[in-house]
Each structure stands twice: as C-alpha cells, then as structure tokens.
Chain A
C-alpha cells in the first residue's frame, strides 16, 4: 500500500447551522464532521464505524456530492472534487456511487426495476439506447435477479432483493468507488450474509474500492481491510482490521469492541461498561470528545483536543495517552 491514494480526504469539515439569530448569524452549529483526513487506496475496502451521531454517513454523503463540505478537500485521482465546476464534477461523480441503507426508501415505487437501473445510464448518456436493455439484463444477472424481474415494481421484492437492485443501480455506471452506507443493517441475518458475499465478489470482479459505513462491527470486520473508528465527528483510531481487533489502543475502540455481544456463551469476556450517553454533537465536550465517558481520562483530556498521530506503522490514534 505504498502507492498514491485513490481518494484523499483532507481536513474535511461539515457544519450544519441549527439555529440562526434574527440577522442570520449562526447561533448554534452542529459539527457533524470536524476536521477529518483520510487516504483511501485502490482496491481496498475502508470501513467506517461509529455510533449514531458520529458523522460517518455525512462523510459518505460528501464524497458522493450529496452534501458540499464546509471546508477541506476531497482529492480523487489527483483532482480536487470540491473545487470543480458543476459540469466537470458530474463526470467524476459517475465513478463514485452510493448504496443506501434503507432499500425501502431508496427505490422509486413508481418505476419498474428495469427503469430504475436504466436511469443513471440514460442520464449520463453512457450507452446508446439500443444497448441499454442488454446492459440492464446483464446487471440484474450479476446481482442474482435473472429472469423476468425487470418489469416488476420495487414493492414486489423482499428487502434483500431490493438491496440487490440498489447494488445493480450503483454498478450501472462502472464506478471505481462505491460508498456503502449501512447496506445490510436493515436486513435479516440470513439475507445479510448473501448481500455481504455479493459485495465482496464484485470487489474482485470489477476491481472496486469500497467505503463501507456501518455500525455493526462484526460485519465491518468481515469485509474491510482497514477501519476508521469515529466518535462525534472525529476519527479516533485508524488501522488495518487485524490490529484494530487484536490490539485496539484507543479507549473508545476498546469499549466499543467489548460491548459487541458474542455468539458464544462460554466466552465470558470482561465488558468495559461506558457510563452515560453520547453527548449531543451540537455541544460536544471540550478537549477530547470522548473524555466525558472515557474510563482512562485524566486531567489534561478535557483541555486540548489530541491530534491523530501515528503511534506505530499504519496505526493512527487520537488519544493523549499515546502522545509523545
């Protein structure tokens, strides 16, 4: 992984103004993503985990141009996407696609599945209209919906099948990167496995790069190569999955990992029990955002935000315990 990153996120910020004064000055601001930098390499699957309100989905939405960042840059193939004109950006957007969480809300109920998958191809004028039909059949075939499914409407499908349609739609434009925003959390366990296997097959087959956003840590661990752990708009720890699960060093990662229920009743592990709730992202704690719930917090934690530092090779952590 010594090559140039395919996608580079630099000091990315997204602030939402929650309340404005009478004259339009922002009074309270929600810092959904607060100064995050990431490198994503070609062919890898980068997992982003975090609890609700951590800003993981907001990053995904900025990469796919649904939100425009407040500050910072997203560099894809050496070009800064945030500084592009609209037309120019559209060309690049083709190469970065998104799979949504809720397969019930993300498919238009008035369109047949064939139309849903053909739509991005038509809009981007990727193929002459005579060839669209065969492309749609091919894509449906890929996701395991061969046969006469293309004339059916979304409501005729089960959750797992809808998610397959969503995947086919994302693949329609031959993307390089797919942002998967909680693609399996709405599905049953037996269906989850099918969709995860499908995604890992496509990664090899089409040479895709994934940004996999989820809160289910076991799922993320299965599919990802490297993982970033987020908490209240900040990245707490980034490393490859093996190191993260074997030797997590940030207290939050440790607590998060220990609170996953394990399907083995004989394994009575010591659970690190976090006190309290996740603070509101509108008014996060001063200093390290995690300091109010941290079981290793000391005095300095609430004063200064720790920077994300490399403590060993390819293992980054933002915690004052490991500051040099």
Chain B
C-alpha cells in the first residue's frame, strides 16, 4: 500500500461541544488506484482528506490514528517534513478553482511557485516544466495562456490549471476534493476523462472525494461510502453497484433518478442527516433505516467482510465495533 490510514479520528472542539467528524477510519490506497470516498454533506469525507494532508486547523484536531505514507507516519512528521511531501509527493485539488487560485497573480507565477520549492531547476527549465504540465492537462496554446490571470479563464480551464499545478512535481498521490462539482456536465466529462487519462499516463493514485455516485461509477476502481464520520461500506466499484449491501448505500442508489428507466416515484430515505451534536447512539443510520432493529439503536456494528465487500450493518453479522472512538 502506498498510503495507509489506520484508525484516524478527527474532532472539532467548538463552543457548542465536540463534533466527531471522523470516527476511527481505516483504509489503504494502492499505487495507481482510484479510490472514491462518497458521502452526503456532514459525512466527514472532506475532513478525512484534509486530515491526510495534515491541513486540520483550530478548532479541529486529529486525536488518534496514523497516516502512513511510504512507511512514514505523516501525523508525527514535523512541519518541515510535511511541507516537503505536500505538493511534491501528495498534492490536492479543490472544488472551487476560483477561490483556490490567487486572483492577482498570473498563472505562470502560481505554477512556478511549487516547481521552485520542490524541484531544483533553473528558471528556464522551471518555465519549460510549467508549460509541459499545461500541455499535459490539454490547455490550448499553453505558451500564451501561461501569462493569463485566473479571471481570464473559464471554470473548466481554471480547474485544469489547478490540476496542472498539482501535477507539476510528479506526485504519487492526487487528492481531488469534489473536482467537478462546480462545473457544467460537458466540462465535467472533459475533466473526468483527463483525470482518468492522467492516471494511466503518469501512474499516480487518486483519492477522489465526491457526492456524485455517477462520477464514481465512471472513474473509480474502489469505493468507500461514509455516513456520519464512519465507513459504512467498502467495495470494488463493480461489486458495489451490482450488489449494494448497506441500507444507506441501497437507499442512495435508489433515490437517484435513472436515465434509462421510468418511475412514477423516487425511493426516499426518510428523515435528514442527523445534527453532528446528536448522532444516534448505536448505528448512526438507525433513525432513518427501514430495517432498524432494537440492537441497532444501542450498539455500533463493526465493519465486517460480506462476500467481496465490507459492510457495517447488523443485517450481515453480529460483530460489534470496539469501543475506542
């Protein structure tokens, strides 16, 4: 495994109380793999990715677990060591390209910044590298576009620049946090194709954070479904879409209108995602679940193997989660 996350716990200490955003999460990311983390708002998917990068700030804190990258625990690394890895070996792209690019700096300077920091190149070679990555993300006439400001570009172009920036130092892992949510469908298709091609070309692993199951089905190899800070199901993409196990996953898949079939009514998961301060005591999904049993309300099921998949539900076994949250 290239990246291994073991028992990660991230909490936010607010005035109203403690929010357990990520509760004991473990997963691995292999070389060249696309792993998708899916969940609705408040499921902790973004906090997980930020924790991996060590970007959790006050009032949040990583209270337990480890993030092992190439045999090294990133949570114990010094700031210096982290800075060396971030942007070089692990890089990240965000949802809204306009807010993550500096509006008063040319694309050129923003691209050169990370190249200068991480690669020992002469000014001329650095510029060549910058143009090369812009070419890689298929920006037309990169030699002239490199002198543009972000506002001179469209949303799709900006996201390409973000990707170029992330790729400039040959990272081994790319964390993409909702990379296409702010884009139109035809542009989304372009960016997804690009990410898919780049994975093949460069052989990097991608951690894809998204709420769109359609995006996952088309790009990812493996999928993790999160709900209220826990993993509720983990499977290969082909298995998950063929035989979803957890009632939440089933509900999610059912509630998306499909293009190739006609239905009078959509399936609904009743209720809403619980408030982070009052998550049900047992299984977090118990108050919305159709199959809720008495024990679901009091005990947390463990993530157990069921066929090719891992699922956290009493319908598939009685094992309890260890009490170390």
Tell whether, in the assembled complex, residue A277 and residue B187 are in contact, meaning their CB atoms are under 8 Å apart: yes
Which partner residue on chain A sits nearest B140 by CB separation?
A276
Interface members, chain B 217-232 (any A CB < 8 Å): 217-218
CB distance from A270 to the nearest CB of B (A): 12
Tell whether, in the assembled complex, residue A262 and residue B218 are in contact, meaning their CB atoms are under 8 Å apart: yes
Interface centre among A257, A260, A264 (most CB of B within 10 A): A264
CB distance from B275 to the nearest CB of A (A): 9
A280 to B172, CA, bound (A): 37
Interface members, chain B 246-270 (any A CB < 8 Å): 251-253, 255-260, 262-263, 265-270
A262 to chain B: which residues have CB within 8 Å?
214, 217-218, 258-260
Determine the interface band of chain A, counting residues with CB < 8 A from chain B: 35 or more
CB distance from A140 to the nearest CB of B (A): 17
The reply on A314 being an interface residue by CB < 8 A is: no
Q: A215-B184, A263-B241, A263-B253 are in contact. Are A273 and B189 (CB under 8 A)?
A: yes
Which residue of A242, A245, A265, A273 contacts B217 across the interface (Cβ within 8 Å)?
A: A265
Interface centre among B184, B186, B187, B265 (most CB of A within 10 A): B186
Which residue of A51, A194, A218 contacts B184 across the interface (Cβ within 8 Å)?
A: A51
Which residue of A51, A188, A196, A200 contacts B186 across the interface (Cβ within 8 Å)?
A: A51
A296 to B213, CA, bound (A): 31
A301 to B7, CA, bound (A): 59
B265 to chain A: which residues have CB within 8 Å?
197, 200
List 17 contacting pairs A-B, 8 Å CB cutoff, sorted by A.
A51-B186, A51-B187, A158-B272, A190-B252, A193-B255, A200-B265, A218-B258, A221-B259, A222-B263, A257-B259, A260-B185, A261-B212, A262-B260, A264-B217, A274-B189, A277-B154, A278-B186
A274 to B211, CA, bound (A): 24
The reply on B19 being an interface residue by CB < 8 A is: no
Tell whether, in the assembled complex, residue A256 and residue B257 are in contact, meaning their CB atoms are under 8 Å apart: no
A256 to B257, CA, bound (A): 17
Tell whether, in the assembled complex, residue A261 and residue B192 are in contact, meaning their CB atoms are under 8 Å apart: yes
A239 to B157, CA, bound (A): 33
Interface centre among B211, B241, B258, B272 (most CB of A within 10 A): B272
The reply on A259 being an interface residue by CB < 8 A is: yes
B238 to chain A: which residues have CB within 8 Å?
265-266
A218 to B215, CA, bound (A): 14
Interface members, chain B 12-57 (any A CB < 8 Å): 40-41
The reply on A233 being an interface residue by CB < 8 A is: no
Tell whether, in the assembled complex, residue B40 and residue A263 are in contact, meaning their CB atoms are under 8 Å apart: no
Which partner residue on chain B sits nearest A198 by CB separation?
B268
B255 to chain A: which residues have CB within 8 Å?
189-190, 192-193
Tell whether, in the assembled complex, residue B253 and residue A193 are in contact, meaning their CB atoms are under 8 Å apart: no
CB distance from B64 to the nearest CB of A (A): 28
Tell whether, in the assembled complex, residue A271 and residue B189 are in contact, meaning their CB atoms are under 8 Å apart: yes
The reply on B204 being an interface residue by CB < 8 A is: no
Interface members, chain A 193-216 (any B CB < 8 Å): 193-194, 196-197, 200, 215
B188 to chain A: which residues have CB within 8 Å?
259, 261
Which partner residue on chain A sits nearest B43 by CB separation?
A188
The reply on B193 being an interface residue by CB < 8 A is: yes
Tell whether, in the assembled complex, residue A265 and residue B40 are in contact, meaning their CB atoms are under 8 Å apart: no
Tell whether, in the assembled complex, residue A196 and residue B185 are in contact, meaning their CB atoms are under 8 Å apart: no
A215 to B212, CA, bound (A): 14
CB distance from B285 to the nearest CB of A (A): 11
A273 to B213, CA, bound (A): 20
B273 to chain A: which residues have CB within 8 Å?
158, 188, 190
Which partner residue on chain A sits nearest B242 by CB separation?
A266
Tell whether, in the assembled complex, residue B218 and residue A265 are in contact, meaning their CB atoms are under 8 Å apart: yes
CB distance from A248 to the nearest CB of B (A): 11
The reply on B190 being an interface residue by CB < 8 A is: yes
The reply on B237 being an interface residue by CB < 8 A is: yes
A97 to B84, CA, bound (A): 56
Which partner residue on chain A sits nearest B210 by CB separation?
A261
- Enumerate the 10 nearest inter-chain pairs by beta-carbon distance, A residue then B residue, closest first: A261-B214, A222-B257, A259-B189, A193-B255, A51-B184, A188-B40, A190-B269, A193-B266, A218-B257, A277-B154
CB distance from A245 to the nearest CB of B (A): 6
Which partner residue on chain B sits nearest A223 by CB separation?
B257
A221 to B270, CA, bound (A): 23
Q: A218-B259, A261-B214 are in contact. Are A277 and B266 (CB under 8 A)?
A: no
A258 to B259, CA, bound (A): 11
A277 to B138, CA, bound (A): 12
Q: A256-B186, A263-B256 are in contact. Are A191 and B237 (CB under 8 A)?
A: no
The reply on A219 being an interface residue by CB < 8 A is: yes
CB distance from A7 to the nearest CB of B (A): 25
Tell whether, in the assembled complex, residue B257 and residue A160 are in contact, meaning their CB atoms are under 8 Å apart: no
Tell whether, in the assembled complex, residue B217 and residue A263 are in contact, meaning their CB atoms are under 8 Å apart: yes
The reply on B282 being an interface residue by CB < 8 A is: no
B60 to chain A: which residues have CB within 8 Å?
none
Tell whether, in the assembled complex, residue B237 and residue A273 are in contact, meaning their CB atoms are under 8 Å apart: no
The reply on A161 being an interface residue by CB < 8 A is: yes
The reply on B142 being an interface residue by CB < 8 A is: no
The reply on B156 being an interface residue by CB < 8 A is: yes
A257 to chain B: which residues have CB within 8 Å?
259
B242 to chain A: which residues have CB within 8 Å?
266
Which partner residue on chain B sits nearest A274 by CB separation?
B186
The reply on A255 being an interface residue by CB < 8 A is: yes
